[in-house]
Amino acid sequence: MTERPPALVSRLPQVGTTIFSVMSALAAQCGAVNLGQGFPDFDCDSALLDAVGQAMRAGHNQYAPMAGVPALRQAVATKIEATHARPYCPEAEITITAGATQAILTAILAIVHPGDEVIVLDPCYDSYVPNIALAGGVAVRVPLTPGTFRPDFDKISAAITPRTRAIIINSPHNPSATTWSEGDMRQLQDLLAPTDTLLISDEVYEHMVFDGATHQSAARFDGLAARAFIVSSFGKTFHVTGWKVGTVAAPAPLMAEFRKVHQFNVFSVNTPMQHGLAHYLQDPAPYLQLSAFYQAKRNLFRQGLEGSRLRLLPATGTYFQCVDISAVSDLSEADFCQWLTREVGVAAIPLSAFYGDGFDQRVVRFCFAKQDDTLRAAIERLRKL
């Protein structure tokens, strides 16, 4: 007899390898400049590394408290109150997570029951819909307005039903690099006010908002904060994506349910890194200066591509730049990205990968969280298109 593993029914039958893994592998294979996957190619502040090293040497190497190291939860609460004027209790309303992706999954598992509906706004980060499926929920995709990627509140309103359990929003937005305005957030607050719909607000790019604008966190609005899990990421903020340390802020009753799940899918997060981050957060300058840091890189990349056949879309937040490829190629977004990587030597991500139906609007996404020399090398190649 030939031995074989027992048959199983997949929980995620439609899911394969992510587009980020595919394009990063192709970029490595082709020796291309990888502006696809969203991670920096430069180091974090040495002072942060020193703080983590000191925490290790001080003996902070065993399990952290389930909800997170108290000093880090206090530092997060202090930061939120300073930046968004919203007090959160560090003991009951702040939890440290193994990155933002885990935070979002945990929030969904905590609140979504089989058959519940969760509204997601297409294009969206690729973990949202599989997370909803794992909870037994139903993802209801509502498109952002093509071209501008603005929320269409009439369509969002029409999608809300008695079965709607939550809505997930993301600002600054990956992949479009747009940001929600104060008016957008107030309109969402008014829309949700008569409902029991919860909010998961993905704010991992909160410190990357450009041209003097202010990040409009859900924490700034009473009616949203009262129903929101607000997610952020130290990996994005401090250039340490591989550390996988994130945060969630939520009212105590919501956080109590969140922690019931968190304690069984992660329990606790890397202890010395939490102590190091708590120490590093005592100085707000690194995160307060982040918008200017990335705006300079955005400007370098955009100025380098001015006059090329790639049409630059507005980029008001995140570390991404979307471009319209219509004047360059008749290929689909996905085929263009493959061609660009192989033949031009620059990797990008097709926006169609972020849509449930693969909607193709001839737009691809570049990441400019790279050293200036890396960006200049990519610009030189892209200007030849």
Task: Check which CATH number belongs to the domain holding 309 and give it.
Answer: 3.90.1150.10
Residue 362 in domain: yes
User: What pLDDT score does 17 carry?
Assistant: 79
Phi-psi region of 72 (alpha: psi -120 to 50; beta: other; left: phi over 0): alpha
Which is nearest to 86 in space by CA: 170, 206, 196, 195?
Answer: 206
Looking only at the bridges linking them, the beta strands covering 117-122 and 164-170 are parallel
Q: Is 340 helix (H, G, I), strand (E, B) or coil?
A: helix
Mean pLDDT, range 341-357, rounded to an integer = 96
Mean pLDDT (the chain) is 96
Query: Token pair for residue 148?
Result: 């501008």
What pLDDT does residue 215 have? 98
Domain boundary among 257, 283, 309: 283
In a shared domain, residues 186 and 175:
yes
- 237 and 295 in a single domain? The answer is no
Under 8 Å between Cβ of 125 and 108: no
CATH of the domain at 85: 3.40.640.10
Domain-located, residue 11: no
d(CA 54, CA 133) in angstroms, rounded, equals: 42
Note the maximum CA span of the chain: 69
Same-domain status, 70 and 187: yes
pLDDT band at 76 (very low <50, low <70, confident <90, very high): very high
Retrieve residue 259's tokens.
């922690």
In a domain, 349, yes or no: yes
Res 221: pLDDT: 98
Give CA–CA dist 207/350, Å, rounded. 25
Q: Identify the pLDDT of residue 21.
A: 87
How far is the C-alpha of 219 from the C-alpha of 266, rounded, in Å?
Answer: 25
Report the pLDDT averaged over residues 95-118. Answer: 98
3-state secondary structure of 231: strand
| Cα–Cα separations (whole angstroms), residue 116 to 133, 137, 353 | 10, 5, 25
In this prediction, residue 14 carries a pLDDT of 86
Specify the length of the chain in residues.
385
Local confidence band at 1 (pLDDT 50, 70, 90 cut-offs): low
Domain end, chosen from 220, 253, 283, is at 283
> With bands split at pLDDT 50, 70 and 90, how would you rate the model's confidence at 267?
very high
pLDDT, position 346: 97
59-76 mean pLDDT: 98
The count of structural domains within the chain is 2
- Domain identity same for 220 and 347: no
**Whether residue 184 is found in the same domain as residue 196:** yes
**What is the domain range of residue 274?**
46-283
Q: Is the domain of 272 the same as that of 303?
A: no
pLDDT tens string 111-169: 999 999 999 999 999 999 999 999 999 999 999 999 999 999 999 999 999 999 999 99
Residues 279 and 304 in one domain: no
pLDDT score for 20: 85
Tell me the C-alpha distance between 2 and 88, whole Å. Answer: 59
User: What stretches of the chain adopt beta strand conformation (E)?
Assistant: 33-34, 94-97, 117-122, 138-143, 164-170, 198-202, 228-233, 246-249, 311-312, 320-324, 346-347, 349-350, 363-367
Average pLDDT over residues 301-308: 96
Dihedrals phi, psi of 304, to nearest 5 degrees: -65, -30
Give the pLDDT score at 343: 96
The answer to whether the peptide bond before residue 123 is cis (omega within 30 degrees of 0) is yes
More confident residue, 353 or 14: 353
Q: Tell me if 13 is assigned to some domain.
A: no
CB contact at 8 A, 73 and 90: yes
When pLDDT is averaged across residues 49-78 and rounded to a whole number, the result is 98
203, 73: one domain: yes
Give residue-wise pLDDT tens across range 326-338: 999 999 999 999 9
Last residue of a domain, one of 248, 283, 318: 283
Phi-psi region of 268 (alpha: psi -120 to 50; beta: other; left: phi over 0): beta
d(CA 166, CA 80) in angstroms, rounded, equals 23
Tokens of 171: 């600002």
Q: Residue 16 has what pLDDT? A: 82
Residue 153 CB neighbour total at 10 angstroms: 14
Residue 347 tokens, joined:
């990797």
**In terms of domains, do 258 and 114 share one?**
yes
Whether the predicted pLDDT of 352 surpasses 70:
yes
- Taking the CA atoms of 78, 368, 141 and 191 in sequence, report the sign of the dihedral they define: positive
Tokens of 144: 């952002």
Cα dihedral sign, 268-225-231-237: negative
Task: Write down the pLDDT at residue 109.
Answer: 98
pLDDT value of residue 15: 86
- pLDDT, mean of residues 17-25: 87
Strand-pairing partners, residue 346, are 33
Is the same domain home to 72 and 215? yes
pLDDT at residue 220 in the model:
98
